[in-house]
Amino acid sequence: MMNTKIKNNNFICQIINKDFNKNKDLSFRTRFPPEPNGYLHIGHAKSICLNFELAHLYKGQCNLRFDDTNPLKENIKYIDSIKYDINWLGYKWYGEIRYSSEYFSKLYQYAQELIKKGLAYVDHLNKEQIREYRGTLNTPGKNSPYRNRTIKENIELFQKMKKGEFSEGEACLRAKIDMSSSFIIMRDPVLYRIIFTKHHQTKKKWCIYPMYDFAHCLSDSIEGITHSLCTLEFQDNKCLYNWILKHTSVTHHPKQYEFSRLNLEFSILSKRKLKILIDKNIIKGWDDPRIPTLSGLRRKGYTPSSIKEFCQKIGVTKQNNLIEFGMLEYCIRKELNQTAIRTMAILEPIKVFLYNLDQNHKEKFIVPNHPDNPEMGTHEIIFTNTIYIERSDFKEKYDKKYKRLKLGEKIRLRYSYIITAEKIEKDKDNNIISIICYCDLHTLGKKPKNNKNPPVIHWISVNNTIPAEFRLYSQLFNIKNPEQQKNFLFYINPASLIKKNGFIEKKIGETIQKKINDNIKLFFQFERIGYFCIDNIDSKKNYLIFNRTVSLRDIWNSKKN
Ligand code: ATP
Ligand code: MG
């Protein structure tokens, strides 16, 4: 939640505060205007948090409006996912969901108004010609040969466009502004184009569709939006935004303000590019945990509160920058440190045989679910003469710094005894298949005789396990700024997903199996390994899959760019 401190320190709040000083009865209204052409990502979350939190802070409202002016790219499945994600974040839009397409009749009338004022015309230049005529930053544009048609002619031609009497690309409606404007956007921008594609809302009613710039400002006005917040790349579009409002008969004039978009290290935040990754099968879908879509982050184990905390931390400014990935991870790690149940899991098992224990040796240990929070309860683990430890926790050949199990040396099993590695067994390919150890039964909860506490490792008893798959995610890109690269596909990290087949403790596994169909997210800290959550999508009752949400410590910062 934003607090009142933020009311003063973010530049948008300063603007709003001034507006309230001028008008105490201002009925403050924002909107979140997604285009339903993909799933929401963490960048959208920044915009959602900003718009909804401001509405809350200033006792106003925030609308959800689908900016659905391009049926070629839109899909009802995107609408459903966007609604789901906003609800998941915990925000409630004001009243009904809005669609720009609801306003198509009104927008058509406003377009006619512009024509009647001599401020819009039907053009027959094709896309390439329009681009060519537009000129560049250094050279002015050229007028279209169709620019000086009569108003009457333009009205008739626009009607013909609407009736479907032209083919796609054969005609468009353009504003008549200034082909030599220093703002290229003002060089007779296209307002309407012809598309013969069924629209998810208006079906086959229209074959002309307003452009974003025309629809957006008018939709904001129709909805009584007071502060229309968008990202910096729309800065130049603001003159067009204001021009359209000025020259049509709308009475309410919203104000547009721009803030910098979120850029996140190692990430792509463009729906178009994310779709390329999916279409090329580089990732599994919009909810792949390796991309920062909200569905991907959710699947990876991020919570709404951690995402909101992140959005609050990064703040809102006009400075473009690249946010450290570690900042996002910090937010979820901090939360899971408090909430995740501690348990032991072995990702890459190797057997340890404790030769001095009886074959039927079976001890129960009651261990805490969280070391600092007794209210989170306890669970039971079983200790027997054959256990699994992590393969990486034993080394036959080692240097002095190696602080885990080695031949002739001691190690403490977490919550249990100190053992000494005495022998190893290998298969014919020279792979270690088991480690034979001595278990000192006088060391439970006690220091060894020499008073030196050896390092601690985790373990599970071989016959007290449930098998599980562990999915370890790394960055999808091996550079920090893939978004800036022309060929971002060149920088894919081939090891962004590593799957391990190991084991979890039986009691924990059984609890998860009972809940797996309830779609409840369960979070764990597998001791010494990281924070994990159950993958609700691919897991089956008899095949549990865990996603690594985040490592125990920040691992990206030390990496080279
Ligand atoms: P993309 O480039 O991912 O397709 P977009 O801007 O085309 O993004 P929209 O659906 O039009 O996506 O965005 C809805 C709202 O979210 C807009 O107000 C937009 O400014 C905002 N938004 C999108 N990406 C970001 C981002 N990276 N940071 C902050 N706000 C964003
Ligand atoms: Mg957009």
Which among 7, 35, 149, 391 is annotated as catalytic? 35
CA dihedral defined by 294, 300, 305, 306, rounded to 10 degrees? -100
Which among 261, 273, 507, 528 is annotated as catalytic? 261
74-111 confidence digits (pLDDT tens):
999 999 999 999 999 999 999 999 999 999 999 999 99
**Domains and their CATH numbers in the chain:** 4-259 (3.40.50.620), 271-341+467-560 (2.40.240.10), 348-458 (2.40.240.10)
Question: Ligand 1, closest atom to CA 262?
Answer: 28
Which pTM was predicted? 0.95
| pLDDT band at residue 1 under the 50/70/90 scheme | very low
383-407 confidence digits (pLDDT tens):
999 999 999 999 988 788 888 999 9
What is the rounded average pLDDT for all residues in the chain? Answer: 95
Give 475-505 as a 3 state SS string: CCECCCCHHHCCCHHHHECCCCEEEEEEEEE
> Could you confirm whether 452 is annotated as catalytic?
no
What average pLDDT does the segment 310-318 reach?
95
The preferred substitution site among 49, 231, 264 for testing ligand 1, maximizing ligand atoms within 8 Å of CB, is: 231
Supply the DSSP symbol for 136: -
Instruction: Give the CA distances from residue 126 to residues 119, 133, 172, 314, 362, in Å, rounded to whole numbers and listed in that order.
Output: 20, 10, 9, 43, 81
What is the structure's pLDDT at 439?
A: 98
Residues 496/476, Cβ–Cβ less than 8 Å: yes
Residue linked to tokens 């505060």: 17
| pLDDT band at residue 112 under the 50/70/90 scheme | very high
The Cα–Cα gap between 517 and 512 comes to 9
| pLDDT band at residue 6 under the 50/70/90 scheme | low
What average pLDDT does the segment 293-312 reach?
97
346-370 confidence digits (pLDDT tens):
999 999 999 999 999 999 999 999 9
Question: Ligand 1, closest atom to CA 36?
Answer: 10
3-state helix, strand and coil shares in percent for the chain, rounded to the nearest 5:
30, 25, 40
The preferred substitution site among 37, 41, 47 for testing ligand 1, maximizing ligand atoms within 8 Å of CB, is: 47
pLDDT above 70 (res 7): no
Instruction: Give the CA distances from residue 416 to residues 397, 428, 445, in Å, rounded to whole numbers and listed in that order.
Output: 26, 33, 7
CA dihedral defined by 352, 353, 359, 362, rounded to 10 degrees? -30
Ligand (nearest to CA of 311): 1
> Could you confirm whether 35 is annotated as catalytic?
yes
What is the structure's pLDDT at 557?
A: 63
Q: Is 270 close to ligand 1, i.e. is its CB under 6 Å away?
A: yes
Q: Residue 356: what are its φ and ψ, rounded to 5°?
A: -85, 5
Q: Which residues on adjacent β-strands are paired with residue 477? A: 492
Which among 271, 404, 410, 548 is annotated as catalytic? 271
| Closest residue to atom 10 of ligand 1, CA basis | 34
Q: Is 79 close to ligand 1, i.e. is its CB under 6 Å away?
A: no
The number of beta carbons lying within 10 Å of the beta carbon of residue 221 is 22
**Cα radius of gyration (the chain):** 31
Q: Is 238 close to ligand 1, i.e. is its CB under 6 Å away?
A: no
> Could you confirm whether 261 is annotated as catalytic?
yes
446-485 confidence digits (pLDDT tens):
988 888 889 999 999 999 999 999 999 999 999 999 999 9
Q: Is the dihedral of CA 189, 195, 201, 206 positive or negative?
A: positive
**Percentage of residues of the chain with pLDDT beyond 90:** 91
Question: Ligand 1, closest atom to CA 47?
Answer: 30
Using the mean position of ligand 2's atoms as its centre, give its distance from the Cα of residue 235 in Å. 14
Q: Is 172 close to ligand 1, i.e. is its CB under 6 Å away?
A: no
Nearest residue to 297 (alpha-carbon basis) of 282, 305, 307: 307
201-250 confidence digits (pLDDT tens):
999 999 999 999 999 999 999 999 999 999 999 999 999 999 999 999 99
Q: Is 274 close to ligand 1, i.e. is its CB under 6 Å away?
A: no
Instruction: State which H helix or E strand residue 355 sits in.
Output: none
What is the structure's pLDDT at 558?
A: 52
**Percentage of residues of the chain with pLDDT beyond 70:** 97
Q: Which residues contact 167 (CB under 8 A, 6 or more apart)?
A: 194
Chain-centroid distance of CA 246 in Å reads 37
